[in-house]
């Protein structure tokens, strides 16, 4: 079982949903990690949840990306550790340089709070083994800055090297380049995505479309 | 010594905020409005007294934190 930690920054508000999703699939509660900790040794998987870290000041994720705990996350990533960033967590990973590109203001300027459909681009990673390749599943959106962008060379590289994790399968509501909803690092051990699979992991939440992601990690 | 950092989205990066401001100006009857781009200005008071060193220091700050050079460009001016 992956030893798992969830980072908490001031202004993060989805850490409990994430912890619940992890505990449900893993059978064990994750360690909750305050942003001033720096020693993350002993963990296999670090999750950066959604929210509005540091009030989204300057740019979404910019302040959190330079906080003390991120030195530990960078060392963890350099050791080949697994990292999952959702929503603000994805923004933090791009701001920290652990994933390429950036998340701009939604093309329509509106905050998006609704469900979207995601297509699984590959199911041979630790995050997606319990999905089928090409499977389309439902995931809630809750963001104002989810418009993924990168220069054309980076986008070509992401697509050419199989680093696109998920694409918007119904409507590309935030205007993301090439309908990209989530991407991997080159070793497929870091995943960042804007929608919230942790918000649909139990029929009581209205569905369990996001549960296979956590089941995939639990089986690793 | 004070530094003024102007941060703008790079040319070619969609600026929906600028577009919305442009639409609002047109709606208000300002017919001469063309393209509008929105950015931000950050003023930093410095203890450094040498203008060249101050500029170099603030450019380092801009690259490290103030601007995301994937999507933004910046300009540093040193005001006395």
- Catalytic residue flag (residue A60): no
Shortest CA gap B16–chain A (Å): 6
Would you place residue B61 in the very low, low, confident or very high pLDDT band (cuts 50, 70, 90)?
very high
pLDDT at B67 over 90: yes
Question: Across the interface, do A106 and B16 touch by the CB < 8 Å criterion?
Answer: yes
Q: Which residues contact A51 (CB under 8 A, 6 or more apart)?
A: A9, A11, A12, A13, A14, A15, A87, A88
Give the span between the Cα atoms of B48 and B59, in whole angstroms: 14
B65, B66, B73: which to substitute to probe chain A, counting the most A Cβ within 10 Å?
B65
Whether residue A101 lies within 8 A of chain B, CB to CB, comes out as: yes
pLDDT at B80 over 80: no
The whole-number average pLDDT for the span B20-49 is 94
Q: A109 to chain B: nearest residue by CA?
A: B16
The interface pTM score, or ipTM, of the predicted complex is 0.87
Question: Across the interface, do B68 and A62 touch by the CB < 8 Å criterion?
Answer: yes
In chain A, residues with a C-beta closer than 8 Å to the C-beta of B64 are 66
User: Measuring CA to CA, how many Å separate A151 from each of A24, A212, B39, B73?
Assistant: 39, 32, 20, 14
Give the span between the Cα atoms of A189 and A205, in whole angstroms: 28
User: Measuring CA to CA, how many Å separate A1 from each of A19, A27, A29, A39, B37?
Assistant: 15, 9, 12, 20, 50
Give the span between the Cα atoms of A2 and A43, in whole angstroms: 7
pLDDT, tens only, A119-177? 999 999 999 999 999 999 999 999 999 999 999 999 999 999 999 999 999 999 999 99
Shortest CA gap A109–chain B (Å): 6
Name the token pair of A48: 């950066």
pLDDT at residue B31 in the model: 86
Q: Is B25 helix (H, G, I), strand (E, B) or coil?
A: helix
pLDDT at residue B14 in the model: 86
For domain B2-79, say whether CATH 3.30.460.10 is its number. Answer: no
Q: What stretches in chain A show pLDDT beneath 70?
A: none
Give the span between the Cα atoms of A169 and A180, in whole angstroms: 10
- Catalytic residue flag (residue A198): yes
């Amino acid at each position: 079982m992956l030893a798992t930690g969830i980072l908490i920054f001031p202004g993060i508000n989805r850490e409990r949903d994430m912890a619940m999703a992890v505990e449900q699939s893993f059978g064990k509660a994750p360690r909750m990690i305050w942003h001033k900790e720096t020693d993350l040794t002993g963990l296999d998987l670090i999750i950066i949840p959604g929210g509005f870290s540091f009030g989204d000041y300057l740019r979404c994720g910019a302040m959190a990306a330079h906080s003390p705990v991120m030195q530990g996350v960078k060392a963890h990533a350099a050791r080949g550790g697994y990292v999952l960033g959702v929503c603000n967590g994805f923004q933090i990973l791009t701001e920290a340089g652990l994933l390429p590109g950036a998340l701009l203001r939604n093309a329509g300027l509106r905050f998006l709070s609704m469900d979207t459909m995601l297509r699984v681009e590959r199911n041979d990673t630790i995050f997606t083994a319990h999905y089928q390749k090409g499977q389309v599943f439902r995931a809630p959106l809750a963001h104002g800055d989810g418009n993924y962008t990168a220069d054309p060379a980076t986008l070509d590289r992401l697509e050419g090297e199989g680093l696109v994790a998920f694409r918007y399968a119904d409507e590309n509501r935030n205007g993301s380049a090439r309908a990209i909803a989530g991407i991997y690092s080159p070793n497929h051990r870091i995943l960042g995505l804007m929608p919230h699979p942790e918000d649909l992991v139990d029929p009581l939440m209205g569905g369990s479309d996001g549960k296979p992601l956590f089941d995939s990690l639990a089986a690793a | 010594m004070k530094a003024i950092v102007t941060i703008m989205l790079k040319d070619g990066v969609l600026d929906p905020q600028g577009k919305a401001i442009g639409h609002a100006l047109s709606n208000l009857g300002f017919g001469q409005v063309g393209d509008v781009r929105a950015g931000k200005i950050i003023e930093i008071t410095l203890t450094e007294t040498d203008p060249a060193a101050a500029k170099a220091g603030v450019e380092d700050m801009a690259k490290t934190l103030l601007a995301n050079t994937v999507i933004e460009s910046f300009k540093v001016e040193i005001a006395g």
